[in-house]
Chain A
Amino acid sequence: MEYNTSENNFEQCMKCTVCTVYCPMLAVNPDFPGPKQAGPDGERYRLKDPSFYDEALKYCLNCKRCEISCPSNVKIGDIIQKARLDYSAIKPGLREFALSHTDLIGTAASVIGPVVNDVLKLGAVQYAMDTMMGVDRRRTFPEYSRERFTLWFRRNARAAQEKYSRFVTYFHGCYANYNYPKLAQDFVKILNALGYGVHLMEKEKCCGVALISNGFRKDAIRGAKKNLKSIREAVAKSEPVLATSSTCTFTIRDEYPHLLGLDNSDIRGSVMMATRFIFNLIDSGKAVLVFRNDYRHRIAYHTPCHLEKLGWSIYSTSLLKMIPGVDFVMLDSQCCGIAGTFGFKKENYQYSQKIGEGLFRQISEAEPDMVATDCETCKWQIEMSTGFKVENPISILADALDVEATIEANAALGTEAADK
């Protein structure tokens, strides 16, 4: 008699309850049933009758810390997010639309960038958004850039890439494109210094994380399919697809198949964080980074939830530690509370700030010159809540890099390799 284990992931739960200990929301909000109850336990009831769906599942941050803690490999966060998409009766409104359609809003805003920034800072506008849309007035908005990264790239960098013989494809994401092109420029700077040309995707759409969490499944699938097509084209040319945002990377790798039902198994291994790619190059002796001697900073590193789930913070932190002048402080891995668009919503603001309290305190006590993290929304949350400046590790590496020396060293490495 041969009997295998259950094919129903939720049935693999052993009820050990360790996930509830790691849930940041449950600790601050007793109205949230917690990952075990909302996930595998609730799933049995929803299978019996969808009316058992509990709207309190909207409090799930999708941080996936429950999944990391689970010894039985139950995809608790996925079960909850999927239930929200499948059963929630709450239809997304204007606020959800505006917060999640980043490409649309970003394109519009970047055309009139500075105006939007000023308008968003007006008390009256913040008050109106708060009362009419439910976007919390205490929240600081990321500024929109005057020139989108893609535009800058086309004007200033694209032609220069063709002199390289090796390429990577860059998934810049919405934030680097519309709000903070410097991050994307820093990425190009480092990759070029390492001897790699940078291609952009044929057509890049928002990864869709905000669409998924705000209930726009169809829009998310549409964008994801376009992204997968472009990623496949890049992978067909043997180019890895690198990103500087942990959430974009995580969404493309894991949420596409788990929540949107899109098979990405052929390209999943080629999509990764830029820091992982760079670290592996250095670790295997295929490249070197040479840093300036005058770079001196105390840097505290915060692990974004989705990078924790990917298990890849080690790459970012190892690179930062390679910079001779860096006084490195590792912060405890805990959720900052913002969870993408979640923390922008008025009713969630108090939970966001309460979840982040411990992290904010630790940062203040560490007194760093800046905080490093791989996620843009963590950056907004920490900057707003602590006043400390936050940078992506890629930007820190770029600032600390001795570009000329790095180019020389890698050229020498290339010759050496050729000699062998």
Chain B
Amino acid sequence: MKGNNYDVIIIGGGITGAGTARDCAMRGLRTLLVERYDFTSGATGRNHGLLHSGARYAVTDRESATECIQENMILRKIAAHCVEETGGLFITLPEDDLSYQALFASACKAAGIDAEIIDPKEAISLEKSVNPSIIGAVRVPDGAVDPFRLTTANVVDARGFGAEVLTYTEVVGFIRDGERVVGVELRDNITKTRSRKYAGIVINAGGIWGHRIAAMAGATVNMFPAKGALLIFGHRVNNMVINRCRKPSDADILVPGDTISLIGTTSSRIPYDEIDYMSVTPEEVEILMREGRKLAPSLGTTRVLRAYAGVRPLVASDNDPSGRSISRGIVCLDHEKRDGIPGFITITGGKLMTYRLMAEQATDLACRKLGVRKSCETASTPLPGSEKKAKKKEAKRVFSMPGLGGKAAVGRHGGRNGRIDNSDRNGASLVCECEEVSVGEVKYALQELDTRNLINLRRRTRVGMGTCQGELCACRAAGLMANGCTAKALEDLAVFMNERWKGMQPVAWGETLSEAQFTSWIYEGVCGLSRFKEKKGGM
């Protein structure tokens, strides 16, 4: 059975699974990470990308707030190339209760969050886009974190420590020895072939889908699907995170992320069987636009690129219909103790911000069960690309060169940017003009970052994430990936363009509508792409 035996198999290629794979591999465990589609195709790729200071939870959930600020400080160090240290504001509008501010500030202090009440005028001078009618402002150490980069970096590092990683590979059953879970039955979702892999411990890091995975093993983990919708604006409207200083509510966080800004979120309970079919409703768009303009009035006259929704992987623990009063706390389940299923662990709850801590807890438990005594080092070891010297050197090298493409890529790959070959004119030429992704960068993603299709490529590089939403770059990238205009490339292109349109459709007015129309002329009118029916599973 050589090649099929591992110490640990981790299910789920979101940030939690990737982080757990890294931690396990760093501790010397023979590790396999399996993901049914692509990395970050679930909730990891559908959130704010907010580097929480924890301030948001300070009043309602002290434990989460403390976890957040601790992990916040760790991520700044270990994931420097995925983080933007923007700082954040909690603003009080005339319609809000200013007395909440004092409660908020003291709760932050108690949680260890450096929150400073500042003059509203100072806030306006710090962040030009903020609503000028604010009556109060608190400055907090919020920031932005790119979940795609963070996940990629964890996967790259896990591999570096010997982990094996399989994408488009779904767990379709558990292999049992009595009650004990001893392995998983896998299906390759592209070739449809099946295989079996064995391990001492199987860790369920499936997020909201973990409910189904647990059920497959005979355990009950009731997940609470709370949908959150967000809007992406066409450029950086704000340079600091802007929050409302009140009890967490709809559309009260505006986050700058790379070239864009994000407003979110709504929160609504959805039936579990809808989690794979998220779409944003006109009502949600209305709420996001209305509330967003209160944070930064210029959002009302800024182009909206797209809308998307994710599902919070909360563990149901009470009957709150909104899903907000539930703790964002980490839930690490030892199914041996809880359900009498040895060899099976579920790590869930938590949030993007606390992924590393979740990974640490799950890995600690796995190590205990496997009898491995090695302590966690993920809090102090920088992720690939974030090594201080390498990142600085790379930035210095690239920013001294003329042209734009290479500069944007440093932000995406940090110190690993040097692996991108932009040395000749062909390598340096741009595939994606809005986000400045070069041919060299696409090739790097294809060779080193598990890129099988255009949607994968988007998550690794930002191809198609810019203003044109794939209008110019998608066909170039498809051609580059397939080495020509093959049937497979056209099919991939059709899936990609449909996925882009899905996000544009809820906000299809003004320039976004014009652009979508123009895109459809090109791809349908000129290229005849509608011949290719969309296949299910554009992940």
Contacts and interface: CB of A to CB of B under 8 A. Distances in A.
Interface of A: 1, 3-8, 10-17, 30-31, 33, 36-37, 40-45, 47-48, 51-52, 54-56, 72
Given A37-B404, A56-B402, A16 B518 contact: yes
A11 B468 contact: no
Contact of A1 (B289, B425, B436): B289
Contacts of B430: 37
7 contacts: A3-B510, A11-B303, A14-B518, A37-B404, A43-B235, A45-B404, A52-B408
A10 B472 CA distance: 17
Given A6-B234, A41-B436, A48-B256, 9 more contacts: A5-B510, A6-B510, A11-B302, A15-B434, A37-B430, A45-B404, A51-B407, A54-B402, A54-B404
B404 A6 contact: no
B258 to A, nearest CB: 7
Interface string B361-405: 000000000000000000000000000000000000001001110
B451 interface: no
B471 A33 contact: no
B286 interface: yes
A402 to B, nearest CB: 55
A14 B511 contact: yes
B511 A44 contact: no
B289 A6 contact: no
Interface in B255-307: 256, 258-259, 282, 285-286, 289, 298, 300-304
A5 B300 CA distance: 9
A48 B259 contact: yes
Given A3-B289, A12-B511, A55 B404 contact: no
A55 B402 contact: yes
B279 to A, nearest CB: 17
B212 interface: no
A45 B509 contact: no
Contacts of A47: 235-236
Contacts of A72: 514
A8 B518 contact: no
A45 B510 contact: no
A41 B432 CA distance: 11
B259 A45 contact: yes
B467 interface: yes
Nearest to B510: A5
B286 A37 contact: no
Contacts of A40: 467
Please give me the 8 A-B residue pairs with the lowest Cβ-Cβ distance, nearest first. A7-B301, A11-B303, A15-B468, A6-B303, A5-B510, A44-B235, A48-B236, A47-B236
A12 B512 CA distance: 9
Nearest to A48: B236
A6 B507 CA distance: 13
Of B403, B434, B514, the most chain A CB neighbours within 10 A belong to B434
A5 B514 CA distance: 10
A30 B467 contact: no
Contacts of A45: 259, 404, 407-408, 436
B515 interface: yes
Contact of A56 (B403, B471, B511): B403
Contacts of B300: 3
A14 B518 CA distance: 8
Given A15-B467, A30-B425, A41 B434 contact: yes
B433 interface: yes
Contacts of B510: 3-6
Interface in B289-327: 289, 298, 300-304
B511 A11 contact: yes
Contact of A15 (B298, B433, B436): B433
Contacts of B303: 5-6, 8, 11
A119 B464 CA distance: 58
A30 B511 CA distance: 30
B467 A11 contact: yes
A44 B434 contact: yes
B294 to A, nearest CB: 16
A6 B511 contact: yes
Interface string B401-417: 01110011000000000
B526 to A, nearest CB: 13
A156 B185 CA distance: 102
Contacts of B258: 48
Contact of B467 (A13, A33, A51): A13
Of B258, B399, B433, B466, the most chain A CB neighbours within 10 A belong to B433
Nearest to B302: A6
Of A3, A15, A40, the most chain B CB neighbours within 10 A belong to A15
A55 B259 CA distance: 20
B433 A41 contact: yes
B236 A8 contact: no
Nearest to A43: B235
B518 A44 contact: no
A52 B404 contact: yes
A7 B302 contact: yes
B264 to A, nearest CB: 18
A14 B425 CA distance: 26
A42 B471 contact: no
A11 B235 contact: yes
Given A6-B234, A6-B303, A14-B515, A33 B404 contact: yes
A60 to B, nearest CB: 14
Nearest to B408: A45
